[in-house]
Amino acid sequence: MNAPVPHAPGGPSPAPVYRILLIEDDQADALLVEELLHDTGLRFDLTTRTTLAQARTELAASAIDCILLDLHLPDVSGTKAIAAVRELAPHTAVIVLTGLSETQAGAEAMAAGAQDYLVKGKVEADLLHRTVRYAVYRSQTERTAADAQKARLRAEENARLERGLLPQPILSTSTVTVTTRYLPSAERALLGGDFLDVVEGDDGLLHAVVGDVSGHGPDAAALGVCLRIAWRSLVLGGHHGPGLLHLMERILIAERGPQPLFATCTLLTLDQNAATATLYLAGHHEPLLTTAEGTRELAAAHGMALGIAPEHGTWPATVIPLPAAGALTLYTDGLTEGHNGPRTERLGVEGLLTLIRNLPAADPVAHVDRLIEETQTLNAGRHTDDLAVLRLDWGDK
């Protein structure tokens, strides 16, 4: 293997070093190709292998920019050789070396996926120079386009999942103001399994859910969407409380397949006429209640997260008296598990309540946005998790 050509520090940017793998079993032809490469003036590292099996080992161990491939190897030949190499290195430029008598081999090689072909015995240094540079450029362009397409598809998929995780509330006569926020984790903006929803039943009661499926990425997000849609359908169908949680757990188990996913959630039913909120906690933390006196965490009974011990979960109800005016905030732990400034400890609920006490008075939307901004500033990107916030405001503030 040729050593890279050094360049003077501080000088102009050097030409790229092409990492070239020559797969050629004829020693004389291999020597000729190496001499031609030296005559091109290209900066290169050349590795020569005589069989596809040897090339497979090299491609697994090293990053290669360009493969010069003879079509007649001891262990594979013809377009099968190209297919095998493309499978091993789908984003690497492949230039096929053909014989003088193989008039159709070049066209067939291009059709099979090679970037270009050269005829042995008719290759000059200038032609090899241009061919290598163009093939590598074309391969890099194709890879960039493929990556961009994958990014577009991922963004479209995330947008569809996010619409499922953050739906429009179904409200008719309720005077409650609903504020929702959903933020995917900062790392590559992957969606996770946080979900929330609000619907008003025919009886005038307002039902809300905030939940968190364990894990991140499309599997957790898809399960979160499934549970959110199931919750909405079941609530509108008249299911509430432990019976609703039992049905959601059955759906989770059926939809998670072999993956050991589970979900935590808070169910809330707000009865403005009775001035009460009924809570069911399935492995989730308590909501926050904001009144004229300030904001505090509610004390509520806990039940088991969904999917941890199927058929053995119990979910006791907690009934909370409500003031004439106030707000309830339900959230996932992405809001509290970040770091509390430069210190190593997490923000936690106490840190969250301190932030809320120090925030200036604002409308619900501005308040939620400012709270999220403050927690993310303190965390400074050190902990990444999805974050869902649902705030319900009622009465005159």
DSSP per-residue letters across 106-118: HHHHHHTT-SEEE
pLDDT of residue 344: 76
pLDDT band at residue 55 using 50, 70 and 90 as cut-offs: very high
Question: What phi and psi values does residue 145 have, to the nearest 5 degrees?
Answer: -65, -40
Poorest-pLDDT segment among 7-16, 301-310, 328-337 = 7-16
> Per mean pLDDT, which of 71-85, 163-177, 311-325 is the most reliable?
311-325
The CA distance from 189 to 154, in Å, is 10
Q: Would you say 55 and 88 are in contact if contact means Cβ atoms under 8 Å apart?
A: yes
What pTM did the predictor assign? Answer: 0.62
Residue with tokens 């090299």: 58
Q: What is the mean pLDDT of residues 300-309?
A: 95
Taking each helix axis from N to C end, the angle separating 348-358 and 364-379, rounded to the nearest 10 degrees, works out to 130
Give the model's pLDDT for residue 20: 94
Mean pLDDT of 306-313: 90
Residue 8 has pLDDT above 50, yes or no: no
Q: Residue 187: is its pLDDT beyond 50?
A: no
| CB of 256 closer than 8 Å to CB of 214 | no
Mean pLDDT across the chain:
87
Torsional sign, CA 41, 42, 45, 47: negative
Adjacent-strand bridge partners of 200: 206
If pLDDT is split at 50, 70 and 90, which confidence band does 157 have?
A: low
* Confidence bin at 205 (pLDDT 50/70/90): very high
What is the spatial distance between Cα 303 and Cα 243, in angstroms, rounded to a whole number?
Answer: 13
Rounded to a whole number of angstroms, the distance between the first and last alpha carbons of the chain is: 76
Q: Using CA atoms, how far apart are residues 242 and 66, in angstroms rounded to an integer? A: 62
Number of C-beta neighbours around residue 321 at 10 A:
8
Question: Alpha-carbon distance 72 to 82, whole Å?
Answer: 11
- For residue 71, pLDDT beyond 80: yes
Whose CA is closest to 280, among 268, 262, 297? 268
pLDDT in tens, 346-380: 999 999 999 999 998 889 999 999 999 999 898 88
Between 185 and 388, where is the model more confident? 388
Give the pLDDT mean for 271-297.
96
**Which 8-state DSSP code applies to residue 261?**
-
Q: Does the pLDDT value for residue 316 go beyond 90?
A: yes
Instruction: Kindly report, residue by residue over 239-266, the tens digit of the pLDDT.
Output: 999 999 999 999 999 999 888 899 999 9
pLDDT band at 162 (very low <50, low <70, confident <90, very high): low
Average pLDDT over residues 308-329: 94
Distances (CA, A) of 221 to 213, 229, 293, 305, 376: 8, 12, 37, 17, 22
Nearest to 338 by CA among 382, 373, 369, 386: 382
Q: What confidence tier does 278 reach under pLDDT thresholds 50, 70, 90? A: very high
Alpha carbon distance 304, 315 (integer Å):
7
9: three-class secondary structure by DSSP: coil
Confidence (pLDDT) at 100: 62
Residue 188 pLDDT: 46
Per-position b or e across 82-112, b if 16+ CB within 10 A of its CB: bebbbebbeebbbbbbbeeebeebbebbeeb
Residue 13 in this model has a pLDDT that exceeds 80: no
Ranked by mean pLDDT, which of 75-79, 302-306, 376-380 comes out on top?
Answer: 302-306
More confident residue, 234 or 155: 234
Which residue, 50, 109, 36, is CA-closest to 79? 109
pLDDT of 3 strictly over 60: no
Q: What average pLDDT score do residues 88-92 get?
A: 89
Here the tokens at position 204 are 């005038």
Which residues have C-beta within 8 Å of that of residue 158, sequence separation ≥ 6? 184, 189, 190, 191, 221
193 vs 207: CA distance, rounded Å: 20
